[in-house]
Structure 1
């Protein structure tokens, strides 16, 4: 959020385009934490998040002449970060998701005693379920629940209507819930047979 007396993103972009490197440094300082947090939750891996954060700002610098000042820079930057993370994801096998972020998501997606069991259970189950979601579903869960972004901001960042975000969140939650509960039921059946 911009403080009173703080230079606007639009002005910083204009100054950067005029060759003032210090203006770009202010933009990096302003958004680096947000971009890293988004990418860390999206990729689930600190090293990947750091690499893609750096790549995002290099890409921003190169593409700054294409920036449309009528759009929020934050949304454009997160869209750029998302595309770069998806490209990375396609180039490599899925990295494990940090176990610290799993509990909150499980509580939001699966209610009741099942959530408590899953939290205590192997975090790998949740990681696998998240990694098996399509990118478009995983990214809305990350943005909505792990980054706690309002639906409108998720829509802006992804460049899609808010109704589409709501639909993707709904479907992603259902797919994740089904995958988690199905796995839990299979384990319970196997334990009962043994």
Structure 2
């Protein structure tokens, strides 16, 4: 094969990886975050996992589930991270606990994806000012108190509005999922 063919294969491999990784990036990060108690640790492991996934992408079998392959790699990275952290200081995070959480997360994966899709649909049904409040609160990972300050509103007003919106969203999701849960 010519060097142009190899470059084409390499570009195709890169494009495949980027497309699959972009599609599953957020879910993979949430998986790691479920396994580690601190966001900073999860971000560190996510970065390490991203590099390992790229390096090992040649091992990925096209046509299989990229997310489950990536999650297994992430689980191994979490295990290694916990081993190192265990030597640094007292850590109650054991390999058995990581595996139990990972198994539970895998079992619930489809339901979580379905709930997230329904939630997005319910968010679209909010009044514009309620949707904006939710987006401001959660897109920037700001606290409700900081949000209230930035809006120039009393904290209690923002807390009550968010509680009302969360309750409505919860009921919306439950209502839309109810037919699926009966069958």
TM-score if structure 1 supplies the norm length?
0.43
The higher radius of gyration belongs to: 2
Kindly indicate whether structure 1 or structure 2 has the higher relative contact order, using CA contacts under 8 Å at least 6 residues apart.
1
Name the structure where helix makes up a greater proportion of residues.
2
